[in-house]
Chain A
Amino acid sequence: MECTTVDVQHTAARDNTPSRRGFLALAAAVGAATALGGPAAFTASAAPARPIASPMLSAADAAKNQLWWGAPGSAKSMIEQGLPIGNGRLAALASNDPADELLMITDATLWTGGLNDKLQSDGQFPYGRDDFGSLTMLAELTVALPDHDLGNVNNYRRSLDLAQGLINTSYDISGVTYRRQIFASRPDDAIVLYFSQQGGGSYTGTVSLAGTHGESTTANSAGRYASFGASLANGLKYGAAVTAYSGTGRVRADGTSITFSGCEDLTVVVSGGTNYVPDAATKFRDPSLAPERLARTKVLNAAGHSASTLLHTHVADFRAVFGQLDINLGTSSAAQRELDTLERLRARHRDDIPDPELEAAYLQFGRYLMISGSRGSLPMGLQGPWLDGNDPDWMADYHTDINIQMNYWMADRAGLSDCFDAFTDYCLVQLPDWTEVTQRLFNDSSNRYRNSSGKIAGWTVAISTNPYGGGGWWWHPAGNAWICQSLFEHYEYTQDRAYLKKIYPLLKGAVQFWEARLVTTTVTDESGTEREVLIADSDWSPEQGPLDAKGITYAQELVWNLFGNYRTATETLGKDAVYRRTVDGLRARLYLPVVSPKTGWLEEWMSPDNLGETTHRHLSPLIGLFPGDRIRPDDSTPKDILDGATALLTARGMNSFGWANAWRSLCWARLKNAENAYQLVVNNLKPSVNGSNGSAMNLFDIYEVETGRGIFQIEANFGTPAAIVEMLVYSRPGHIELLPALPAAWAASGSVSGVGVRGGFVADISWKNGKVTRATLKSVGGRETTVVAGGASRKVSLKPGESVTLRGLG
């Protein structure tokens, strides 16, 4: 290939952490630098710094990242119709009904259950709401406005302002325009509802705050608040409080609620939390913390400020994070723009005409969810912190055999590197219990996956994990390696040595576990040569086929990845050089999968036979294609392996559901099949009808578990955006490809800025007619890499903080 002229412009570093550049710029403006990596528990916080100037976007700029609907949500279907907000820990779904605003509020730490450190006779961990536990709701807040019946309103509209973290609702009654804004503020650690109007109207109604575990709410007229507090059976204390205020009319806390009348505007502030602390040594409790009292303090502190001040404080915080990535996949038509988000989903499916703005908005919605659900507390499980009841499917837990990993594939790729911290912190906090329980119970005779050698070391996890060090369902031997794959990849994006040092115990513990677990066997290759290899002991390729297969591809690939990352980590940190050589030796003997002569597919079970479902949702044997990158569509991978992987992916099919489609899309993007990758993204945009697979009204991804019943599974809301980014940029340390799988639908023109790149860079790229017109690479710690686009490739050398702009790439 010809190396075209590349125009290189070096730009001096402005700060050391460009991935956080936007955030720091705004944070500096408001003096809120303390917001970086906040407390991981519900604690008293210093008074937030308030912005001096308005951080609000202009209406036109805000409109670029807004979803909107022409009708409110139903109280009976909040998980599909409620609009999500969250401050990283405290989250809610809002109905936006004019007469009955309903917020279903969840604190990410309000978990039942405990350590759950006993195995059943079949070797499984108990998996109930009392033993393993479940995420549950904190409260329901309602604001009743009896005169605002939906049947009487005109021009109803509600929108989700993704860039500013706001729900806006407006409607007209008898010539008065009523507006409400709802947001979850991280600086004020509270949810705020601001009701205003134009045209001479007023508000009369009732604010009610109710627990969801049978608590009694008490209103305090002198204190102007209503609150409740209680403890779960596991001893976790929790509480919530609400206050309301207005410049006019009458507001009164009385009995169990707050009533108001004749108020020209009204501000409602609610907060709450638990005494969960991320510390295994204290059994995850702070006995001195009184959540109800703290919630009262928080809402009353916030109530000392105008709604506008609270709004500006929140928007300054939220915008800074959201603004770290901007994306434009092309221009949608006027007819598409005229439709609300639900109609737009329907039209996208009905007409099968690309809607690039909707498709970009789907990515930004995923980012919005991550900012709202993963900052400074527990990471996001199967539903993030959004529930509509206390019996979420699979406990809304952390599934370690794809789901939690998929949740975080997007973070670094999509300019939300800091949101990854919740996942890392969780693993670090759980590690003592994970280690202790592994060493005590993994080799229990009831565990079918126990090490046949009888040896045990390090740690691993069950398929499900909770925030109390506990596991649920089966042991998941390779779960540790997959978690480490995600954690290490975050290092590759950030090149943050301090971070690597922090996660090193997790990596080493997982390596030690596998050192004890691998067994030797003899294989004969095609030439008839026998060789001794190391394979994983009995295991289950998630979640299909034989329960007791040795050498499953899933485990082999993950351990190969783990051992490789371990070498990099020890070299980088200058640690454990002797043990590194031991591990290198193990890795050299590790069996790697071959292609089945029977099926032509990369084998899943170290067997030529297809022992499972051809179109199974999991792509476990393709884990070396994505998220791993051992299998690459270039000369580094033997052609038969690449063909076998492609054939297996083809056989898995294009008609799955949410997260399974997202994973497939990521794999096709890796294989540079842009149209397949795009079609799978489009499949997830199909509107869910009566619980069918696809996107709900609020864009939450729905999995049809049985006819007529859909379950919200948040992974697709993150995995699909990850796929969109992966179609635009592929990276591994030392190598970046721009537009590796750009579909025709987005090819005309577009741009993306703020994309994370493995190796320690952030990329901004623009394209036209499918070709890169301009690319800027900034180092966040990376020094050398090669950029490939179209027919051109270019070596780039940068110092941390520097950037370079490339033009004229293929």
Chain B
Amino acid sequence: MRSSSYSVLPARTLRTVVVFALTAGLAATVPAAQAKTPVPRETPATTPAAAKPYMGWSSWSMQSSKYPGLNPDGDYSYLTEANVLKQTDALAAKLKNYGYNHVNIDAGWWMDKTWKTGFDQYGRQTPDPVRFPHGMKSVADHIHSKGLKAGIYLPVGLEKEAYGEGRTPIWNAPGCTTADVVYSDLRTTNGWDNAYKLNFDNPCAQKYIDSQAQQFADWGYDFLKLDGVGPGSFKSGDNYDNVPDVAAWQQAISTTGRPIHLELSWSLDIGHAADWKKYSNGWRIDTDVECYCNTLVTWENSVNDRWDDAPAWSRKAGPGGWNDLDGIDVGNGEMDGLTKAERQSYMTLWAINKSPLFTGDDLTRLDSYGVSLLTNKEVIAVDQNDSPVARPVTPVGDQQVWGTKNADGSHTVALFNLADSPASVTAQWASLGFTGNASVRDLWNKADLGTYKNKITEALPAHGSRLFTIKPGGGTPTTTGYEAESAANTLSGNASVAGCDACSGGKKVGGLYTGGKLRFNDVTVKKDGIYTVQIAYVSGDPRSVTVSSDSGNGTSEKFPSTGDWSTAETVSVQLALKAGSNTITLDSGSGYAPDVDKIVVPQSV
């Protein structure tokens, strides 16, 4: 690691086992749901901000990279006025027409090249004169002159260096000093513990936030990324509960009268999703996508985390607030550190999740494939349209199918192969709720592939994807639903029936752990065949279960999180059934399996 003088560097590569273990331990002793509830602020989010996921560019990916030449004056030195203006011009010239309209300055605008912070006489971050010789307003003005929006950045809390022995006055708050905005024990907060936690019991704290917000409004900023926010940012517990800070920011922004998009970072606690939705316009669901290595990102570190982590959040997003999967660094394969297949999959996942689309690439050096990815209007439309966020419709193994239904009755369907080798991936129409013929539009290749019956199979490269719009021809499968709680089923081990408001029939079967098993005894079909069996389930985290029919060995399948223990979702599996009566078994084996609502089985194939 760096020397102690760099201890506040916002690098998040410290994703060590120790940190996770600590976080997990805290979570265990102070469950998120019981964390201190913030005092609700007035002014609910009525702003039209974030009606769609925002699009644009951010400085952080290049700042954080060790790619040769990007940060010649030391780590994170990329961030300068000259570079921001250069990227602004490139964004305006190349991507603005496609909807990319934010230029977001990330961490460091108030720090010198040794990462030493600078503050004004009111304890507010002040631009480093070397990085931004003309100040922040000048930069925003230039951005605006190109028809773009300007974004800026702050860590949550009162930065320690701003404390000034507690005697620093707060702007426009007579009688308030920094000692009044924090706790007397100077408890620290945020993902790096580099700030004192604000004490909103004292109105001076709100005043401090107001003073920061007003300055951004005065400079003309349209977007703020508030970073290190907890619960999240690998922190939990009272000191890291920044919900009051976020609420204060929303109020402060409202007070300025300037619409400023408020984006939260990073790895926000899903247990507080309602708070984030109430007070902000977007939240980072995961750790940084950047690798802090010789490229901007790598597949393993940490682009591919999102396939596992996004499903939990799928129902949390919507107009006003979106699941932020972090930057979309697909514009230059060599700098990005990704294969073409990985770049396409990256963009595909972000689009179907309706993540903000902000690239961290060097926009002056986009390669032609990168431009084609970033400017595919059909794919951008998937991100920006009014359809719900897509979810996996299959279990989440190496090969996955995700889908969502569009307003016009078509389905947006993505195929993914997360394996290190090519694989064929099949989308079964029955897993999407229809059958028969359907027409397929290939969004990436901008081609109508024609009509496919019952399914489509494609060969995908390692880490590859396909993205389709599928229009059903009107076929609907005739299915039979079998409730998990039915008395006809056999429950073994700890399996038991429990209430479930979100479930059909108001009940589910839970207790499927370490040997708990649920067997549906009389699943009847008309013909021998391999059936697409839909399984409705509830699972607050991703869990595996072995699904089998009759005397089969079954397959262990991981079901994606439904986000909490009160939401039911559906995935489909393939099972052979014979004409007549069959059993279907969900067995927890040696682990913990999802709760099961019901299964839905086509009556014939």
Contacts and interface: CB of A to CB of B under 8 A. Distances in A.
Interface of A: 69-74, 76-77, 81, 97, 149-154, 156, 171, 174, 333-336, 339-340, 342-343, 346-347, 349-353
Nearest to B447: A174
Contact of B421 (A73, A347, A349): A73
A342 B399 CA distance: 13
A353 B576 contact: yes
A339 B424 CA distance: 11
A596 to B, nearest CB: 35
B420 A74 contact: yes
Contacts of A73: 421-422
22 contacts: A70-B459, A74-B420, A77-B420, A97-B422, A149-B461, A150-B460, A150-B461, A151-B344, A151-B460, A151-B464, A151-B465, A151-B466, A154-B449, A156-B459, A336-B530, A340-B424, A342-B424, A347-B530, A350-B552, A350-B555, A351-B552, A352-B552
Given A151-B444, A349-B553, A81 B421 contact: yes
- Chain B binding surface SS class: strand
B473 to A, nearest CB: 19
Interface string B214-235: 0000000000000000000000
How many of chain B's residues touch chain A, expressed as a range? 35 or more
Given A69-B424, A151-B444, A340-B424, A351 B460 contact: no
A74 B422 contact: yes
A339 B576 CA distance: 12
Q: Which of B340, B466, B552, B605 has the most CB of A within 10 A?
A: B552
Interface in B559-605: 574-576, 605
Contact of A351 (B423, B445, B464, B576): B576
A417 to B, nearest CB: 38
B412 to A, nearest CB: 18
A353 B548 CA distance: 12
A351 B340 contact: no
B349 to A, nearest CB: 15
B552 A77 contact: no
Contacts, number: 90
A363 to B, nearest CB: 22
B528 interface: yes
Nearest to B530: A335
Given A71-B421, A349-B553, A350-B554, 17 more contacts: A71-B424, A72-B422, A73-B421, A73-B422, A74-B462, A151-B460, A151-B461, A153-B459, A156-B459, A333-B528, A333-B529, A335-B529, A335-B530, A336-B530, A339-B530, A351-B552, A351-B576
A69 B425 CA distance: 11
B54 to A, nearest CB: 28
Contacts of A150: 341, 422, 459-461, 464
A60 to B, nearest CB: 22
Contacts of A171: 459
A353 B552 contact: yes
A171 B457 CA distance: 12
A680 to B, nearest CB: 15
Contacts of B424: 69-71, 156, 340, 342-343
A90 to B, nearest CB: 26
B86 to A, nearest CB: 31
A149 B340 contact: yes
Contacts of B460: 71, 150-151
A70 B442 CA distance: 18
B422 to A, nearest CB: 4
Interface of B: 340-341, 344, 420-424, 442, 444-445, 447, 449, 457-462, 464-466, 528-530, 548-555, 574-576, 605
A691 to B, nearest CB: 13
Nearest to A333: B528
A333 B554 CA distance: 19
B443 to A, nearest CB: 12
B8 to A, nearest CB: 40
B361 to A, nearest CB: 20
Contacts of B344: 151
A217 B162 CA distance: 66
A335 B528 contact: yes
B445 A152 contact: yes
Nearest to A339: B530
Contacts of B574: 347, 350
A151 B344 CA distance: 9
B455 to A, nearest CB: 9
A70 B457 contact: yes
A151 B458 CA distance: 9
A352 B553 contact: yes
A441 B10 CA distance: 69
B465 to A, nearest CB: 8
- The 3 A-B residue pairs with the shortest CB-CB distance, nearest first, are A70-B424, A74-B421, A156-B459
Given A174-B447, A335-B605, A347-B530, A71 B552 contact: no
Nearest to B528: A333
Contacts of A336: 530
A339 B465 CA distance: 21
A97 B459 CA distance: 10
A77 B553 contact: no
A77 B422 CA distance: 10
Q: Which of A71, A97, A339, A347 has the most CB of B within 10 A?
A: A71
A243 B422 CA distance: 29
A347 B459 contact: no
A8 to B, nearest CB: 41
B449 to A, nearest CB: 6
A350 B575 contact: yes
A343 B528 CA distance: 18
Contacts of B552: 350-353
A71 B458 CA distance: 8
B340 A151 contact: yes
A96 to B, nearest CB: 9
A686 to B, nearest CB: 8
Nearest to A158: B459
B422 A347 contact: no
Nearest to B442: A154
Nearest to A80: B421
A76 B458 contact: no
Nearest to A174: B447
Q: Which of A70, A77, A350 has the most CB of B within 10 A?
A: A350
Contact of B555 (A77, A97, A156, A346): A346
A58 B531 CA distance: 32
B445 A350 contact: no
Contacts of A149: 340, 461
Contact of A156 (B341, B420, B449, B458): B458
A515 B442 CA distance: 76
A335 B458 contact: no
A349 B420 CA distance: 23
A335 B576 CA distance: 9
Contacts of B575: 350-351
Nearest to B456: A154
A347 B576 CA distance: 8
Contacts of A153: 459
Given A350-B555, A351-B549, A352-B553, A154 B458 contact: yes
Contacts of B449: 154
A231 B341 CA distance: 40
A629 to B, nearest CB: 34
A343 B574 CA distance: 11
A589 B444 CA distance: 79
A153 B449 CA distance: 11
A527 to B, nearest CB: 50
B433 to A, nearest CB: 21
A522 B341 CA distance: 73
A479 to B, nearest CB: 38
A72 B552 CA distance: 29
A43 B457 CA distance: 46
A627 to B, nearest CB: 31
Nearest to A346: B555
Contacts of B341: 150-151
A705 B442 CA distance: 43
